[in-house]
Structure 1
Amino acid sequence: MKENPKKNQKRQELILTIVEVVNRLGYENLTIRDICREANISIGTFYHYFNEKSDIVRILFKGIDDYFENSVLPSFGNDELKNILTFVCEYASYCDKSGVAITREISTAPLINASRNYLSNQKRKLSIIIEGVVFRGQQKKQITQDFTVEQIAQMVLVGMRGYSADWAKNQGAYDIVEAVKNHFIVFNKGISA
């Protein structure tokens, strides 16, 4: 079934508004009624575009995945260690641009609701992309084969998520991109073949 372009455009506008509301007020204690009041929409309108509040979190994760698939992946070169550095720095930059509240939400939502653990879903585009980088790196003899592709990809994902959660916990008190870059420069030395 094809989605109505007008409905899709309105939904995208609502998402942008809701993201602004979440950044301003936080997500955890925000109710659908709060979202509707702040976004100046009716509760019926909210439910016309979303099934529940947690759809917002799913949409945030889809936004990250789409950004990586459409903007980051095409920028990769032949050096897979550099691609890992690009990957994690782009994630940090995405967090920085999204703001502390959104980053906190994408870092902790799965911990609160384990039935929807978007972070560890290995079928997510983000996971598939980093596994591809590691796989190619091992094939090119750039990355050690002392660990499996999945193990190294998991190390990368956990490391970058750890920084994003810490940065959000500390209210964005430090340069997340610089911190992630420095960490993964050292990490990359450890996984070099």
Structure 2
Amino acid sequence: MKPSSQRAIKAQQTRQLLLDTALELFGKKGFDNVTIDEIVEKCDVSKGAFYRHFNSKYDVFAVKFKDIDNFYESFYEKIHPAYTVKQKIILAYQEQMTYLRDELGVDFVRTVYMSSLSRTMDEKHYLVDPERRIYKLIESYLDEGLEKGEFVSSWEKDQLLLNLTRCMRATVFDWIIFQNKLDIVEEITILVTMIFEGIGKRETN
């Protein structure tokens, strides 16, 4: 193996070690109670090694959330084109909640929300960034639904997207509070279905 390849493998291993260790510490102690010095000490690497891979502690979350966005991309590619737009949106949120529950876990998600709520957030924050894949995915489905006439024209796309997004965030927040007492997949299905039923009733009025 070439030295350059060995260095690349070592760098990737170090990056993964830093990521896993930081997330473990965040979950145990809380984001604000963990320092970069503590992360690198536990990994037995230099602080310079940390900054070669991450610009800050927040970058650790950003990297993890990129994994989620990759998951959304794979979901989009496998969705059956014969589904109605409403079915696609419900399935997208069901898959999202399943991923949060089974792959990330409530402890990690709680840490993300707590660290975010303790700071001023702008629209570029990863939780609300309109360019994130999940928001663009739902937006594309809404465009399709409006074009096909599945949604009434009196409902603007931006308002629909906002209401759906609020349902999603509310579901995650309640899950953080109630944990195993709340089935997030079932809950998001109920809330999104209620919105679609409300649209249908408004259409007939």
TM-score (norm 1): 0.82
Shift in Å, 1:13? 5.0
Structure 1 residue aligned with 2:121, among 111, 114, 125?
114
Shift in Å, 1:86? 1.0
Partner SS, residue 146 of structure 1 = coil
Q: Does 1:35 align with 2:39?
A: yes
Mapped contact 2:175–2:182 kept (Cα < 8 A):
yes
Count how many residue pairs are aligned between Structure 1 and Structure 2: 189
Mapped contact 2:25–2:34 kept (Cα < 8 A):
no
Q: For 1:58-137, list aligned pairs within 5 A.
A: 58-69=62-73, 71-77=74-80, 78-97=83-102, 98-111=104-117, 112-115=119-122, 117-137=125-145
Q: Distance in 2 between matches of 1:172 and 1:36?
A: 33
Q: Does 1:50 align with 2:57?
A: no
RMSD: 2.5
Partner SS, residue 119 of structure 1 = coil
Which stretch of the first structure deviates more once superposed, 12-21 or 157-166? Answer: 12-21
55 and 166 in structure 1: CA distance in 2 versus 1, 3 angstrom threshold? same
Q: Distance in 2 between matches of 1:9 and 1:91?
A: 28
Q: Distance in 1 between matches of 2:39 and 2:51?
A: 12
Q: Deviations over 1:102-148 (max 9, x none)?
A: 21234344432415522222122221111001110111111232222
Q: Distance in 2 between matches of 1:109 and 1:83?
A: 31
Q: Deviations over 1:6-61 (max 9, x none)?
A: 33464245434433443344324222233334445443322221111111122232
Higher RCO, 1 vs 2 (CA within 8 Å, ≥6 residues apart): 1
Q: Distance in 2 between matches of 1:46 and 1:110?
A: 22
Identity %: 27
Q: Distance in 1 between matches of 2:110 and 2:170?
A: 11
Mapped contact 2:27–2:111 kept (Cα < 8 A):
no
Task: Please say which structure displays the higher CA radius of gyration.
Answer: 2
Structure 1 residue aligned with 2:196, among 177, 188, 192?
188
List runs of 5+ in structure 2 lacking aligned partners. 1-6
